[in-house]
C-alpha cells in the first residue's frame, strides 16, 4: 500500500507541470497535503480572498448607511463621464457629460456603480499585494497597473456609450458578456506580466554588472 502510494507520487512528480508555465517538477518526493502541494498558491488565494472580503465590506456597504463612500464613488464615476466626453470631442464626436451621465449622439448612458471596474481593480491590487515580492516591485505594479486599468475601463465605457448610441440591440451583450470578460482577462494578463517582470527585475538587480 505504502509502495503504491509512493510510486503514484513519483509518477505525479515525473509527469511535471508540462508545457507553458510549468518548469520540470522538483526531483524527489512530491509534498503531501493541500498546504504542501499548493504552497504559495494557497497562501495567495487566502490573502486575496481576505483582501477582497475587506473591499466588499467597505465598498458594498449600502450608500444610505455610508453617504461618504457614495459621494466619493459618484465623483469618481463623474470623472469617467467627463473624460469620455472630452475624448469623444477630441475625435470629433458630439458628446457631453452631465454628472455621471455621458451623452453621445444625444443618447444617454449613465455610468453607475459597477461600471467603475472597482472590483477587477481591487482584485488586481489584492493580487499584487498578496504576491511575495519586494515592496518596491509592488509599488511599481500598483503605480503602473491601476492607472492602466482605469484607462482601459474608460475605453470600455466609451465603447459601450458608442454601442448604446449606434447599436443598442447588442448593448446588453457588449456590456455584461464581452466588456466584463475582456476587462477581467486584461486584469489577469496584466498581473501575470507584472509578476514575471517583478521577479526578473529583482534578479537583474541582484547580479553585479561587469
Contacts with other proteins by CB under 8 A lie at 15-26, 31, 36-42, 44-45, 48-49, 52, 56-57, 59-62, 114-115, 119-120, 123, 131-133, 175-177, 180-186, 188-189, 192-193, 195-196, 199-200, 202-204, 206-207
Closer to other proteins by CB, 4 or 62: give it. 62
CB of 106 to other proteins, least distance (A): 26
CA distance 159 to 179: 9
β-strand partners of 98: 101
CB of 93 to other proteins, least distance (A): 25
109 contacts 166 by C-beta, under 8 angstroms: no
CB of 133 to other proteins, least distance (A): 7
CB of 168 to other proteins, least distance (A): 17
Among the listed residues 54, 65, 183, the one whose alpha carbon sits nearest the alpha carbon of residue 129: 54
Closer to other proteins by CB, 4 or 203: give it. 203
Closer to other proteins by CB, 86 or 192: give it. 192
Closer to other proteins by CB, 21 or 92: give it. 21
Closer to other proteins by CB, 52 or 79: give it. 52
CA distance 48 to 128: 9
Find all residues with CB under 8 Å of 150, minimum gap 6, and list them: 117, 121
Among the listed residues 191, 26, 158, 2, the one whose alpha carbon sits nearest the alpha carbon of residue 85: 158
CA distance 62 to 69: 9
Closer to other proteins by CB, 98 or 193: give it. 193
The set of cell numbers assigned to 170 is 447588442
Q: Which residue has the cell 456597504?
A: 61
CB of 203 to other proteins, least distance (A): 4
47 contacts 126 by C-beta, under 8 angstroms: yes
- End-to-end distance of the chain based on CA atoms, in angstroms? 56
CB of 91 to other proteins, least distance (A): 26
Amino acid at each position: 500500500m505504502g509502495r503504491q502510494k509512493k510510486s503514484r507520487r513519483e509518477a505525479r512528480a515525473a509527469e511535471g507541470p508540462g508545457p507553458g508555465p510549468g518548469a520540470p517538477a522538483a526531483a524527489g518526493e512530491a509534498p503531501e497535503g493541500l498546504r504542501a502541494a499548493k504552497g504559495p498558491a494557497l497562501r495567495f488565494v487566502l490573502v486575496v480572498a481576505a483582501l477582497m472580503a475587506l473591499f466588499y465590506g467597505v465598498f458594498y456597504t449600502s450608500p444610505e448607511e455610508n453617504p461618504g463612500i457614495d459621494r466619493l464613488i459618484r465623483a469618481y464615476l463623474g470623472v469617467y463621464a467627463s473624460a469620455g466626453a472630452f475624448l469623444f470631442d477630441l475625435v470629433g464626436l458630439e458628446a457631453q457629460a452631465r454628472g455621471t451621465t455621458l451623452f453621445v449622439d444625444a443618447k444617454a448612458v449613465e455610468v453607475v456603480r459597477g461600471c467603475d471596474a472597482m472590483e477587477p481593480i481591487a482584485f488586481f491590487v489584492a493580487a499584487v499585494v498578496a504576491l511575495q515580492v519586494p515592496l518596491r516591485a509592488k509599488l511599481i505594479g500598483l503605480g503602473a497597473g491601476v492607472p492602466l486599468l482605469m484607462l482601459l475601463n474608460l475605453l470600455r465605457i466609451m465603447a459601450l456609450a458608442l454601442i448604446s448610441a449606434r447599436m443598442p440591440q447588442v448593448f446588453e451583450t457588449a456590456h455584461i458578456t464581452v466588456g466584463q470578460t475582456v476587462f477581467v482577462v486584461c486584469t489577469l494578463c496584466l498581473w501575470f506580466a507584472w509578476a514575471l517582470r517583478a521577479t526578473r527585475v529583482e534578479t537583474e538587480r541582484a547580479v553585479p554588472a561587469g
